[in-house]
Amino acid sequence: MQDPAITDDLIAAHGLKPDEYARILEIIGREPTFTELGIFSAMWNEHCSYKSSKKWLRTLPTEGPQVICGPGENAGIVDIGDGQCVVFKMESHNHPSYIEPYQGAATGVGGILRDVFTMGARPIAAMNSLSFGAPSHHKTRQLVNGVVAGVGGYGNCFGVPTIGGEVRFDPAYNGNCLVNAFAAGLADTDKIFYSAASGVGMPVVYLGAKTGRDGVGGATMASAEFDDTIEDKRPTVQVGDPFTEKRLMEATLELMATGAVISIQDMGAAGLTCSAVEMGDKGGLGVRLDLEKVPQRELNMTAYEMMLSESQERMLMVLKPELEAEARAVFVKWDLDFAIVGETIAEDRFLVMHNGVVKADLPLATLSGSAPEYDRPWVPTPAAAPLGDVIGVDPIDGLNALISSPNYAGKQWVYEQYDQQVMGDTARTPGAGSGIVRVHGTDKSLAFTSDVTPRYVKANPVEGGKQAVAEAYRNLTAVGAKPLATTDNMNFGNPEKPEIMGQFVGAIQGIGEACIALDMPIVSGNVSLYNETDGKGILPTPTIGAVGIIMHPDHIIGGQIREGHVLLLVGETHGHLGQSAILAEVYGRAEGDAPHVDLAAEKRNGDFIRANHHLINTCTDLSDGGLALAAFEMAEAAGVGVTLDAEDTPTLFGEDQARYLIACNLDMADALMVAAGQAGVPLAMVGKVGGDHVTFGNHSAPLAPLAATFRSAFQNAVA
């Protein structure tokens, strides 16, 4: 096949700006081949190079005594003691999931699982954070059903429990849903594998499934806005096979135990190109590839297609040559491809051959390290106008409005499609703030959560960024876990618009501030920009995934409320209604400022909860829907009534931060009051548990019909 001529249109189709192409000419001193143009496009797109975000990502806190490996590898690694570590990361698969919901979501799960086991860790938990358009939008139902089925279909077959997550709806996501996938695994700290190649003349080995034409140009597609040609992009979506992935994981972990692996890299975005270049660059070596040796499942594949394919379930490895036979035997046993497709070389070169013909010959370090880095113009988000008057709502009507909305209704329909118990170590299933997984064979458990409130970030990116981290901190704390570290997934619109870039910068500032104050460094993450359709961007959605540790089962706060318990509120209530759930659902208003986050109060109140876990039966943080929704969710989960003394809208539905609702026996409440006084923590009795009604002041309704609404509203809206 004759390569096409390099034209301005072809350059633009590869997502390269004229000045970027001029830079390529400067670097290589000639016109690139078609394959080279594809390679530059893959390495320099937003998805792979972070060219609009690098400047700001560097400002995030990434270190701490608990951090073994921060950003830059396949996943972050945090020490959990006793020679063990947790390996975790969150990534987006937004654009593919909108085009092809099932496969887009499924391969998002597959990709994040590979990131984890590539480091030598066995995955133990998965989560997802999903954002869809308005339930009434003609695409939403199809997207929700396809994405949820894809997440469940891949994760269930692979055999990892899905133990948490979130689902939201807003018209801003009508043309661009978000699918953020999280995975965590366990490894021994002395058995971690990295991606930096070492040694000259070492074989470069292709592992896993065969290469096809699916996903060619996927990373470039994910770095562009959508328009009315979206359906034409379907071939750029990869197709996943979870059973192959399971075999690949077992083979990879077995191979690692042989001592044959020098370095290993998942083939994710930009496929063979990105994995080979990153391995070479991190090791200060060149790489030669012979593409005719690449296992192919389609006939007559070109060099361009093989280099840019994002076919799933594939790895690249640098191998100790003397152990080739042992390594090959492992992959043959698992019925997977094992092919030596090249070698490491001393020169700084990325040499790609196909049937003896040079298809690409590029300076490797420059290709990797000279991607454009932009200091995009940005403008701070203007301060929100003060919130106007809010007429009080009947508290039962207000609660009904919240639990009738798919945003705040129970998500059972979603998570019941996921296997939550596979591997047998799940200690807390989805439906509450954090999922918990036992560390097998020890007293330890790990807690996981995922959080962001996009309407806060839009109104006030700095406070919204802080709040996402603070809520993750509270969700971990509420189950008795000590927060360890975070991963972020920065989902924004077009960074070339200064107001969008301003949202990004503000959110980064808030996230960084909160991570330092709460000792939760960022150890991995992902940036997804250009989430726009026809020029209309999504709500800024910087999702925070966080991990915490519980050292002993006795430290878990995991009970349910019961008759006779009293309800205590930790933290100060001012009745903040700006950007609140009640304002949106009852009044149809998105107005006012986001609630401000007092990080010192967050830390103090969190430390208090964990220090006094033995006095607390159950605990939840207060976020969307405030005190009223938190108390109702406790009541619904236990099937017992609750009474709150308050009945005014700001007290019941305000979304002030740094707050928890605690249930315990009266004698424990007395002890907590004493401890709170000593710690300088605001603590007030706000209600009691008992009966079969939900009562707010003088307003009351039976629990049973409210619970029925809560459990059916999501399914009725979108299933």
Give the DSSP per-residue string, 413-458. HHHTTS--STTS-EEE-SSSS-EEEE-TTSS-EEEEEEE--HHHHH
Q: Which residue, chain included where needed, has tokens 């005190």?
A: 627
The reply to whether 93 belongs to the active site is yes
Contact 539, 170 (CB under 8 A): yes
Catalytic residue among 14, 93, 95, 354: 93
Q: How many residues does the chain have?
A: 719
In 3D space, the residue among 597, 487, 476 whose CA is nearest the CA of residue 543 turns out to be 487
* Strands lying side by side in the sheet with 660-664: 618-621, 660-664, 566-570, 683-689, 642-644, 693-696, 699-702
What is the 3-class SS of 39-60, one letter each residue?
Answer: HHHHHHCHHHHCCCCHHHHCCC
Catalytic residue among 14, 47, 95, 555: 47
Pairing mode, if any, of strands 122-132 and 178-188?
A: antiparallel
Contact 11, 37 (CB under 8 A): yes
Q: Give the span between the Cα atoms of 179 and 157, in whole angstroms.
A: 19
The reply to whether 555 belongs to the active site is no
Burial profile 416-435: b = 16 or more Cβ within 10 angstroms, e = fewer: ebbbbeebebbbbbbbbbbb
Sequence-separated (6 or more) residues with CB below 8 Å from residue 125: 160, 161, 162, 163, 164, 183, 184, 435, 437, 446, 448
Q: Give the span between the Cα atoms of 220 and 217, in whole angstroms.
A: 5
DSSP classification of residue 405: S
Pairing mode, if any, of strands 693-696 and 642-644?
A: parallel
What is the 3-class SS of 306-374, one letter each residue?
Answer: HHHCCCCCEEEEEECHHHHHHHHHHHHHCCCEEEEEEEEECCCCEEEEECCEEEEEECHHHHHHCCCCC
Q: Give the span between the Cα atoms of 336 and 589, in whole angstroms.
A: 55
Contact 661, 634 (CB under 8 A): yes
Q: Tokens standing for 434?
A: 């954090």
Q: Give the span between the Cα atoms of 394 and 695, in whole angstroms.
A: 12
Active site residues: 47, 93
